[in-house]
Amino acid sequence: MLYNIKKPFATHHIQLKHHQVYYEEYGNPNGVPVLFLHGGPGSGCNSSQKSFFNHKKFRVIFIDQRGSGKSKPRASTKDNTTQLLIMDIEKIRQLLDIPSWLIVGGSWGATLAVAYAQKHTSRVKGMILRSLFLGTKEELDWAFLKAPLKFRPELISNMISVLNMEKVNSPINILGKMLESKDVKKRALASELWLEYEGNLSTLSYEGDNIKSIFENKNFTQKRLNSLPNTPFLEWHYIKNNFFLKKNQLIKEKKKLENIPISIVQSNYDLLCPPSTSFIFSQELNKTKIHKINRAGHYISDPGVKEKIKELLDDF
């Protein structure tokens, strides 16, 4: 049974040169401090993520990263890097006078959690990570090309077809260039196609996609333009910049985390963040444990995933 969702007991924002970063405090003001890092990049926090936190036990800090959620301006990539997000996190920790905290994050949130912990090791009590992603080229090649070729051949075939690609390759690079177009309708189309493609790689069950119908729908009303997905723009910004990480940085520096208890919730059928990543990362980290979830994909809402995170939090 997950917890009932309460309202935050405090909301804040910090004003930066090009960004206003929103964050809120949830649960018990005197509870165990927890930092929650959302995925994407760009997805922002939402109320459902509060349901696995015991609001009597924890003081949870939910941060909408630059360009995400309630932070402004929306989808802004200006001054938006991994290093600057880490600086924001550390500034918020200091403002809230929190000596150290537990970090919870999934997918990109897990990437950022590892990067932050390697920079500020003494500030981390422990980590509960879901769908570990380490920002490597090999992971991207698997997620957006090799995995769909093996497990979603119809999906990638439809995308290659509408994009008129001459050879089989990752559609992400072409969509990324479209996202940078000066043509607002081309950007809009790319963002919707990106979301459809990634969403069908995230789900456990694939019964067909809307790639062709999205591509053929050229009726770009203002309402449609106003409701474009946020994540494709920020995800492409981070992907094309190698997530602002050195090659294999998070793997090479993982020994910095050897004294931090780390629990990794890993779904066995996660196409975007496969079990191999968690396994490789956990080697030689004696305080790291992988918790396997059967019959689940990438989504936190898949059976058993959120329940396992709640269980680990209750046991912390």
Respond yes or no: is residue 107 known to be catalytic: yes
* Cis check: omega of the bond before 41, within 30 degrees of 0: yes
Distance (Å, whole) CA 200 – CA 197: 5
Q: Exposed e or buried b for every residue in 206-219, given b needs 16+ CB within 10 A?
A: beebebeeebeeee
Residue 298 catalytic? Answer: yes
Cross-strand partners of 262: 127, 288
Classify 191 as helix, strand or coil.
Answer: helix
3-state class of 271 per DSSP?
A: coil
Alpha helices in 42-146 (DSSP H): 82-95, 108-119, 137-141
**Distance in angstroms (rounded) separating the CA atoms of residues 22 and 125:** 24
19, 237, 291, 298: the active-site residue: 298
Amino acid at 52: F
The structure tokens 């090479």 sit at 252
Q: How far apart are CA 55 and CA 36, in angstroms?
A: 14
The yes-or-no answer on residue 64 being catalytic is no
DSSP assigned state of 289 = E
Which amino acid type is present at position 90?
Answer: E
Strands (E), 91-172: 101-106, 124-130
Q: How far, in Å, CA of 281 to CA of 134, rounded?
A: 9
Residue-level length of the chain: 316
- In the set 107, 191, 202, 267, the catalytic residue is 107
Given 64, 88, 209, 270, the catalytic residue: 270
What positions carry a catalytic annotation?
107, 270, 298
